Amino acid sequence: MSYTLAGQTLRSRFFLGTAAYPSPLILQQAIAAAGSELVTVSLRRQLQPGSLPSDFYRIIQHSGARLLPNTAGCRTAREAITLAHMARELFNTHWIKLEVVGDDYTLQPDPVELLEATRQLLADGFEVFPYCTDDLVSCQRLVDAGCKVLMPWGAPIGSGQGLLNPWALRTLRARLPGVFLVVDAGIGTPAHAVQAMELGFDAVLLNSAVAHSPDPVRMAQAFRLAIESGRLAWEAGIMPCQPMAVATTPVTGNPLLL
């Protein structure tokens, strides 16, 4: 079923990163297997010596996916703002995945610098997709600033630990019902993606779990099926947990004698 994201109609809820694949061909095949219509790219990586942006652009154009540049590696609001403007010029898009890291060990977003950059970029006409933590107050500040999309982490980037705090993510979903929520970072297995979607999140963004698999293409397909399954379960309605056994057949009344 299609949905609208920042004015664009999409069907896939699987957003895919494009770093660390064994080859451009495998990246191309993984995007196809994932069915992704939105892929992210680090502008810093594309500007590194020896990078092949022309090859990358051809892959994205062939896939038909929309490009979402990100500001990975930025440490301050000013740095992220500058990079976002460069991305708009180079990629011809006003969409930006905003990353402002505050800690080298966990790569946790800096909530103060992130909010400052968000406010400025929104004023500059960007559609901002902020990578943030699962802290409700920080997320609410971003929404109050004008964000329509949030990308809270499940766990530290690249860790593969899954959803470390389902309660916090569930709280975000309940308290921010009108916001498009994407679990971003920490996803390691398709089961983690199912869990995120069953919590009511709108999409999942991941990179390492596919790129670092011995078979990225098959893993991309596995995640595609998992995300579709989790979303379908959420839409169907998941039964509530019970504190004790609940029989599916009557245990009282008259027995049936034949």
Task: Tell me what the pLDDT averaged over the chain comes to.
Answer: 93
Q: Is residue 255 part of a domain?
A: no
Q: Is residue 250 part of a domain?
A: no
- pLDDT band of residue 23 (cuts 50, 70, 90) is very high
The percent of residues in the chain predicted with pLDDT above 70, rounded, is: 93
Q: Is residue 242 part of a domain?
A: no
- Mean pLDDT for 149-166 is 97
Q: Strand 149-152 to strand 127-132: parallel, antiparallel, or no bridges (unpaired)?
A: parallel
Closest-CA residue to 20 (of 188, 158, 130): 158
Indicate whether 47 pLDDT > 80. no
Angle between helices 216-236 and 190-198 (to 10 degrees): 20
The CATH number for 77's domain is: 3.20.20.70
Closest-CA residue to 147 (of 128, 120, 121): 128
Number of domains comprising the chain: 1
Biggest CA pair distance of the chain? 82
- Mean pLDDT for 94-113 is 96
Closest-CA residue to 65 (of 41, 89, 98): 41
Q: Is residue 205 part of a domain?
A: yes
Q: Is residue 184 part of a domain?
A: yes
Active site residue 148: no
222-250 tens-digit pLDDT:
999 999 999 999 999 999 988 999 888 77
Indicate whether 255 pLDDT > 90. no
Q: Is residue 47 part of a domain?
A: yes
pLDDT of residue 139: 98
Q: Is residue 105 part of a domain?
A: yes
Low-confidence winner among 75-79, 132-136, 240-244 (lowest mean pLDDT): 240-244
Indicate whether 48 pLDDT > 60. no
Pairwise CA distance, residues 84 & 217, whole Å: 30
pTM for this prediction:
0.91
In the set 18, 30, 35, 97, the catalytic residue is 97
Pairwise CA distance, residues 130 & 113, whole Å: 11
Per-residue b or e along 171-184, where b marks 16 or more CB atoms closer than 10 Å to that residue's CB: ebbeebeebbbbbb
**3 state SS of 37:** coil
- pLDDT band of residue 54 (cuts 50, 70, 90) is low
Q: Which helix (H) or strand (E) holds 253?
A: none
Indicate whether 52 pLDDT > 80. no
**Residue 160 is labelled as binding a ligand:** no
Q: Is residue 253 part of a domain?
A: no
Domain limits for position 203: 3-236
How many residues appear in the chain? Answer: 258
**Residue 186 is labelled as binding a ligand:** yes
- pLDDT band of residue 129 (cuts 50, 70, 90) is very high
- Mean pLDDT for 194-220 is 98
Residue 255 sits at the vertex; the CA angle it makes with 249 and 256, to the nearest 5 degrees, is 95
**Residue 162 is labelled as binding a ligand:** no
Q: Strand 180-184 to strand 149-152: parallel, antiparallel, or no bridges (unpaired)?
A: parallel
pLDDT of residue 36: 97
